[in-house]
A and B are shown apart, each in its own frame.
Chain A
Amino acid sequence: MLWLLFFLVTAIHAELCQPDGENAFKVRLSIRTALGDKAYAWDTNEEYLFKAMVAFSMRKVPNRETTEISHVLLCNVTQRVSFWFVVTDPSKTHTLPAVEIQSAIRMNRNRINNAFFLNDQTLEFLRIPSTLAPPTDPPVPIWIIIFGVIFCIVIVATMLLILSGIQQHRRKNEGPSEMEDTEDKCENTITVENGIPCDPLDMKGGHINDAFMTEDERLTPL
């Protein structure tokens, strides 16, 4: 009689938790990818912890506070490590609806991840999408601040240059203003030239031409 009951229980257990079964979810862990050398081996103790975490998540759902660790069933554990799990009701006859399990796991995803030192990518619940972190938007976008700073600097520099240009213009207007443009170009050539600037003799108006100086002195004045 006892053997019959035992077979019945295991048969029901096997029926409830099946790959692609109703309300069953596949879990996939990538422990070695996440932890490298510090990877721990997946054994029955880890499975017990997993069952405990799932039961904990279900207990947070209203109406399911009586979920026990024994209600969580695991099956088809592979070397990957991956397995399927279901959560049964207290009578162990049928499984809890997938929607409830989904919302429970989603709300406590962070705690479950931390228990295993994994994250959303290395501890995957297939068909349970993880909630992504919202983008941290500062009240004023950073780029506008930097743009404003540089814009103000450029405007101030432009104003300064324009004002000093106008001042120079006024000062020059008081002096001779005819040869201005060509002198401008000549002055530019002097500043642009990198070597020793030589004043072209024929460009400066009003200076004594040194080439003819000696000739003047040779002629004795009358």
Chain B
Amino acid sequence: MLIVEGMPLLYLELAVGQRMRQGSIGAWRTISPYLSGVGVASVVVSFFLSMYYNVINAWAFWYLFHSFQDPLPWSVCPVNGNRTGYDEECEKATSTQYFWYRKTLNISPSIQENGAVQWEPALCLILAWLLVYLCILRGTESTGKVVYFTASLPYCVLLIYLIRGLTLHGATNGLVYMFTPKMEQLANPKAWINAATQIFFSLGLGFGSLIAFASYNEPSNDCQKHAIIVSLLNSSTSIFASVVTFSIYGFKATFNYESCLNKVILLLTNSFDLEDGFLTASNLEQVKGYLASAYPSKYNEVFPQIKNCSLETELDTAVQGTGLAFIVYTEAIKNMEVSQLWSVLYFFMLLMLGIGSMLGNTAAILTPLTDSKAISSYLPKEAISGLVCFVNCAIGMVFTTEAGNYWFDIFNDYAATLSLLLIVLVETVAVCYLYGLRRFESDLRAMTGRKLSWYWKAMWAGVSPLLIVSLFVFYLSDYIMTGTLRYQAWDASEGQLVTKDYPPYALAIIGLLVASSTMCIPLVALGTFITRCLKRGDTVPGA
């Protein structure tokens, strides 16, 4: 996926930005006036992304600030009213889930119940936006310096975590699980689809941020070398990070497996009044058999409560996205020694990564705005950045309401996926066929002095567009086959996630999200066509 899709498209975007020397809107207008809609669509997608992405940074701040307590607030359940037991919701779910769903989000049972804006996440969101504003205040020169810091620090933290993770008890279980290929999963096309989508988002294709950054490069910069290096580094970082993730995952799974076993042992010891310490993990099965034969009636009573503990099921509970970062990892961290230190390190790294992504997004939005003469003649750069941050922060308050996490999931799943695929497809087709592959090749040779190898030409002209079209078709068919869209809601009385259907207005908003970015391309093309026709109509009678 990386070689066939990631590298060629990355090289394409970097080359376009470097050649046109403008942000995404201007760059595509230069290629063909009908195509400035592509740039507009990129900016719209980046705008949606920056709206909801900073909420993750707000949550990371929240957890970071709460990591300075002993014991960590997500490791213990709060005590209930008359101090005889723990809070009911916390008992049913785990303490980390309770902290995430109740204390951090204060989530409502469904998306219809909006609730009020929670002031704690709102404060953290304001802080997150202030930090982003501070970094982009001076434009790309300050962003460049900040990125030195935000890009290198996570590597240090990952290294520390790698050493800590590999020395944890049970880490090898996770690593073995990671490296054993699961043949039935590889045969499932959904895995390949997810890999392709992951490469897209990981490299940041189609957002316009790459074009924006590349436009600041020297024209003679060798972007081919940079494209290859960046994509290889990106993938090796992913593998490095997943080694760390899986070792911590293995630790968590082993810990849960052993506590499950201990619970079963305790249950049997108490029901049959066996000697304390007699039952261990190794003789559990034998003793179970013996008890089943010796005391059949009592064993049958106890049997429904005995859980079948299995390491595989623990490892298979794969989670991704916000669930992984805030629930699974915090659960693993609370079981380590000196958990405050590890927690602070982890959330600091998460913040660095999140702020780094935000800088790219906001650069994608700001560069076209500052490039356009209309806006930048009225307002200085600082005011434009401030305005963008303020508008995004105000809209982001929606995600701090009680139903905010459900809206966040909507944006996360639908704002970017389809639109990006379409944008990148149009980009590739435009550069190869509308602008002309030979013309682009000669431009590149004039810029960098290198001849374009056949590999890139083959990829741009044939393979990558086909791949993107197939991804697109797959997503659409998947949606059509499943019918309606559903989401996971947190049920406080059960302490679990339940699946619910989206109400009609939420579906309408999803449609609006996807349409507003994809429709930019044809609408702007149509608009340019009409204005050209009108202009031609004006000039012809005159001449």
Contacts and interface: CB of A to CB of B under 8 A. Distances in A.
Interface string B77-90: 01100011110000
A133 B517 CA distance: 55
Interface in A13-69: 28-33
A142 B141 contact: no
B348 to A, nearest CB: 12
B269 interface: yes
B181 interface: no
B130 A80 contact: no
B448 to A, nearest CB: 15
Interface string B135-148: 00111111010000
Give the interface size bracket for B toward A. 35 or more
Interface string A113-124: 000000000000
Interface in B100-142: 123-124, 127, 130-131, 133-134, 137-142
A150 B68 CA distance: 14
B164 interface: no
A154 B130 contact: yes
A187 to B, nearest CB: 8
B105 to A, nearest CB: 16
B122 to A, nearest CB: 12
A206 to B, nearest CB: 22
B226 to A, nearest CB: 11
Given A189-B218, A192-B216, A78 B273 contact: yes
A132 interface: yes
B218 A193 contact: yes
Contacts of A192: 140-141, 144, 216-217
B296 interface: no
B382 interface: yes
A128 to B, nearest CB: 10
B3 interface: no
Nearest to A161: B137
Given A147-B123, A189-B217, A158 B273 contact: no
Contacts of A155: 130
Nearest to B86: A132
A64 B104 CA distance: 49
A155 B270 CA distance: 59
Nearest to B142: A161
A97 B140 CA distance: 78
Interface string B362-389: 0000000000000010001010000000
A130 B83 CA distance: 8
A134 B134 contact: no
B130 A151 contact: yes
Most buried by A among B21, B78, B85, B276: B276
A33 B276 contact: yes
Contacts of B276: 29-33, 80-81
B277 interface: yes
Interface in A131-166: 131-135, 142-144, 146-147, 150-151, 154-155, 157-158, 161-162, 165
A24 to B, nearest CB: 16
A134 B133 contact: no
Contacts of A169: 380
A188 B141 contact: yes
Interface string A176-191: 0000010011011101
A129 interface: yes
Contact of A191 (B66, B133, B144, B274): B144
Interface in B211-244: 216-218
Given A158-B130, A165-B137, A188-B139, A143 B66 contact: yes
A188 B197 CA distance: 33
Contact of A188 (B68, B79, B130, B140): B140
B217 to A, nearest CB: 7
B529 interface: no
A164 to B, nearest CB: 9
Pick from B134, B144, B269 the residue with the most CB of A within 10 Å: B134
A103 interface: no
A108 interface: no
Given A80-B269, A81-B276, 4 more contacts: A131-B84, A135-B79, A165-B382, A185-B216
26 contacts: A78-B273, A79-B275, A80-B270, A80-B273, A81-B276, A82-B270, A135-B78, A142-B68, A142-B69, A143-B62, A143-B65, A143-B69, A147-B61, A154-B127, A154-B131, A154-B134, A158-B134, A158-B137, A161-B142, A162-B137, A162-B382, A181-B376, A189-B218, A191-B144, A192-B140, A192-B217
Interface of A: 28-33, 78-82, 129-135, 142-144, 146-147, 150-151, 154-155, 157-158, 161-162, 165, 169, 181, 184-185, 187-189, 191-193
